[in-house]
Structure 1
């Protein structure tokens, strides 16, 4: 299996994916079942628990975008398609009522709790198969959050809003506007989003630093490999350009 930094114990068996369960698994399965029942097909469908105690999900055919296929998102059309897909998910989840005993895997407390958010909408969790078959995987950290919290994180990864010379884009502001327009953010949401872009990105640096201090894997290894520095640098890059993002989103 490919597509992320945390995939221990995740295997493909035929047209299914098997992965370790946790206290959050029943709630995540309820969420994915709801999405399927309301017609949202851009997510795996839960099939229960196997005889080894692993959760069973439908296998999403295709290729993970990050990093080798990120060029698929170069076009404004495809970038807008990702934003629209995220909006479809957020609309589909609005009618979801979590189980009374729902337990979620909360890695980073969100700002706001108007929906059950994905919390990791990024190129490493986007699978593409052809022009129209796109889906998000890795829902195990879904939990209470907000639409803007999810959107801010997604914008960081899909535009991308990066300080790294290999990924920094001179047209980042234009792509930010394309994403916001395609998602359908109103004026108030755009104003609230701008400072959230930096805070959401910086929260990843803080999370990795805290987990590394406590020696918790796999986060400690990611910190040692420099992921924490990358998130901090990106946060600084974003925060230093808030006026640019505001102009792109609101004009004036």
Structure 2
């Protein structure tokens, strides 16, 4: 992670903490990112389409920034859910609970611990689930979800082939969270077993079903002229 964050800052990407070094206990030390985590209390900040588009562009800029990143030979990654393919070093948890909104309008992503080899559109599909959001929960389900999906895709710059590829990934990436929690809970691995017991697995499954049942709607929104 240290090498990745160093690279991001060397190429001018500022929406991530800057590494400061390693402390005497072998822990990575990063700069503090001032502001407030968007989820859940400040999610209304993303109601405005321009802010949703800003987030999509931040993700695109990150993906572009890592295109020429070469991990060190001894790099150790902690990817929890392997992606369907590998073309970049991905964040793997681009979601509103890892987005900090600063007091002066700046945005930054935190929690880079699970970064590692991954697939760009796998990262995008996960981000779309969280930032649209594509949720089955009545408190978070949005009647304008398809439109917001289009706003995100346009701002990120997805071409037609990528849009067609991303739509089926939306459900599979969301369902992978349910499957991961289920499998870890069966082994008694924490904190995942506790999250499963609290119902997070059911929430991810419900979201996956909601997304999969509306694939035609998402495809139409992303491909309409």
TM-score range (shorter-chain normalised) is: over 0.9
Q: Which residue of 2 aligns with 1:203?
A: 176
Greater CA drift, 94-103 or 239-248? 94-103
Matched residue of 1:168: which SS? coil
Gaps of 5+ in 2: none
Q: Does 1:165 align with 2:133?
A: no
Q: Does 1:134 align with 2:112?
A: no
Q: Which residue of 2 aligns with 1:234?
A: 207
Measured after TM superposition, the shift of residue 47 of structure 1 is 1.2
Give the paired residue count. Answer: 225
| 1:78-157 alignment runs, 5 A limit | 78-130=51-103, 132-157=105-130
Which of 12, 15, 19 is residue 46 of structure 1 equivalent to?
19
Q: Does 1:193 align with 2:193?
A: no
Distance 1:138 1:247 in 2: 33
Give structure 1 regions of 4+ aligned residues with deviation exceeding 6 angstroms.
none
Distance 2:79 2:165 in 1: 23
Distance 1:92 1:239 in 2: 31
Measured after TM superposition, the shift of residue 131 of structure 1 is 5.0
Normalising by structure 1, what TM-score? Answer: 0.88
Matched residue of 1:189: which SS? helix
Superposition RMSD in Å: 0.9
Distance 1:162 1:183 in 2: 21
Alpha-carbon displacement from aligned partner over 1:107-134 (angstroms, at most 9, x marks no partner): 1110111100000000000001135411
Alpha-carbon displacement from aligned partner over 1:78-109 (angstroms, at most 9, x marks no partner): 00000000001001111100111222102111
Distance 1:90 1:52 in 2: 31
Matched residue of 2:114: which SS? coil
Measured after TM superposition, the shift of residue 45 of structure 1 is 1.0
Normalising by structure 2, what TM-score? Answer: 0.98
Q: Does 1:29 align with 2:5?
A: no
Measured after TM superposition, the shift of residue 146 of structure 1 is 1.2
Alpha-carbon displacement from aligned partner over 1:116-170 (angstroms, at most 9, x marks no partner): 0000000000001135411000001001111100000000000000000000000
Gaps of 5+ in 1: 1-27
Measured after TM superposition, the shift of residue 52 of structure 1 is 3.1
Matched residue of 2:190: which SS? coil
Q: Which residue of 2 aligns with 1:225?
A: 198
Matched residue of 1:103: which SS? coil
